[in-house]
Structures are given as C-alpha cells and as structure tokens.
Copies of this chain bind each other. A is one copy, B any other.
Amino acid sequence: MVHVIARHRPGTQARGEDTRRRILETALEIFATEGYEGASTRQLAERADVNLPAIQYYFGSKEGLFRAVLESIIEHTERHMAPLDLRVKAALADPGTSREKLLELLCEMLKAFVSLVLGGTQIESRRLLFARSEVEDTPGLEQLHESGKRHVFAPCLALIARLTGRPADDLETELRALALMGQVTIFCHKGALDTRAPAEFTPERVRIIQGLVREHTLAIFRAVSFKAASLQ
C-alpha cells in the first residue's frame, strides 16, 4: 500500500478537487441510505459519475471514504452546537446562575439538538447516518458518538445535574439525560415517520417537535421535587 490518502500539497494543482467533493457528497447520501456494508464502491462510483478506482485514489479505501464522510458530519455538529455550548459552560461556571436560567438553557440545548438532526441541509442523509451510528459497527463510527456525547449529552447532563442537585456522574442523572434526549432521537428513525403518509420533516413539524420537547422539559423540572436522595 503506497498511496494511502491523496493529500494535495500546497502549490500543487488540484484539478481533482471537484471530483473529490462530488464523491464525498454522494457517499454521505449512499452510506446513509444503504449503510456501510450495503453501499458498494461500484454504486458509489456510478452515482458520483467517476470510475471505480477513483475512490481508492482520493480516499485510499472505502473505509477512508467513510471516515471522511463522518468527519464532515462531526464538523457540522460542532459548528452547529458551539455557540450554545459556550453559553452553557459560562452559566455552569457561575454558581449564581438561577434555576430558571439553567432550565431555559436545557430547553435550548434540546431545541438545538432537534434542529441538528432534523433540520439544515442534507437533513435526510445526516438523520439516517446518525440513526445507523447507534446500531452498526463500522470503523470510525465511535467518533460520531463521541462528538454527540461531547456537544449534546455532556452539556445536558451537567445542566440536569445542577437542576436536580445530584452529581453529574450519577447513574440516575445519566439515565434521565438520555431519556430526555430520546424524545429527540426517536425522530431519527424511519419507524417514527411512516405513521403518516408523507413521512417528511417539514419545518412546521420540526417546530412542533421543538415545542413539545420544551413543554415536556419545563413540566418535568418544574413539577418534580428533586434534592431527594432516591426516586421511588
């Protein structure tokens, strides 16, 4: 194996940059709909209108292409969540932050999580690939997990810990954070879609889901009397 990944040295002509980007965009789509194993390099090449060896040429291997697709998604996730992450971090650092402010930030986190997985460009592909990442066992997929944990799960967990007065490494707190996030992640699965005929996520539906999750979150953290050691 000589030619692992074609990194274009600066100053070198990059005629193939178009081709490379076309392969990457097509790959996101196909990996999402077919899965890593299900997507064949021949299918990838045909849909991207390139030859079969072009994939090896630009990305070293099928796995290299997949990792490149994952990197582009992770990059998108970080760009989407970064501003809110900073606000949450600042609020948590200040011990005087009010309970209502923390609760409002939690609602905003979940709202941003909804628009992350259900909105934006290439919605369908990212949504499907995110859903697959929970099931498949493909090289590099743990990076996608790690990204979601760092930018969504961890901030939510920290906020909930403060809201409930429990330690952040508490099992119950972790499970509660996951349960709340589950209200969002369920809409990544196609089973959640075909209850209705059109089965698409229009901006209107995204808005309704965001409203419902907010309503639920507010109800939960305003109603329950926390600070109690155990649950039931």
Contacts of A231 in B (CB 8 A): 208, 211-212, 215
Q: In whole angstroms, how far apart are the Cα atoms of A182 and B183 in the complex?
A: 5
Report if A186-B189 is in contact (Cβ < 8 Å); known contacts: A212-B175, A219-B224: no
Q: Are B182 and A187 in contact (CB under 8 A)?
A: yes
Stretch at the interface among A58-66, A94-102, A126-134: A126-134
Partner of A35, one of B136, B179, B232: B136
Query: Total interface residues on A, using CB and 8 Å?
Result: 52
Report if A189-B222 is in contact (Cβ < 8 Å); known contacts: A195-B149, A208-B175: no
Instruction: Let me know if A9 is at the binding interface, CB within 8 A.
Output: no
Instruction: Let me know if A74 is at the binding interface, CB within 8 A.
Output: no
Q: Are A195 and B153 in contact (CB under 8 A)?
A: yes
Q: In whole angstroms, how far apart are the Cα atoms of A190 and B182 in the complex?
A: 13
Instruction: Let me know if A89 is at the binding interface, CB within 8 A.
Output: no
Instruction: Let me know if A145 is at the binding interface, CB within 8 A.
Output: yes
Q: Are B212 and A176 in contact (CB under 8 A)?
A: yes
Q: Identify the closest chain B residue to A131 (Cβ).
A: B135
Instruction: Let me know if A108 is at the binding interface, CB within 8 A.
Output: no
Report if A35-B219 is in contact (Cβ < 8 Å); known contacts: A171-B205, A179-B186, A208-B175: no
Contacts of A11 in B (CB 8 A): none
For residue A145, give the distance in angstroms from its CB to the closest CB of chain B: 5
- Partner-B contacts on A (CB < 8 A): 35, 37-38, 128, 131-136, 145, 148-149, 153, 171-172, 174-176, 178-187, 189-192, 194-196, 205, 208-209, 211-213, 215-216, 218-220, 222-224, 231-232
18 A-B contacts, Cβ less than 8 Å apart? A35-B35, A35-B136, A128-B135, A132-B135, A134-B192, A145-B191, A149-B195, A175-B212, A178-B192, A178-B195, A179-B186, A179-B216, A182-B186, A185-B185, A186-B186, A216-B216, A219-B223, A219-B224
The 3 tightest CB contacts between A and B, nearest first, are: A182-B186, A134-B189, A219-B223
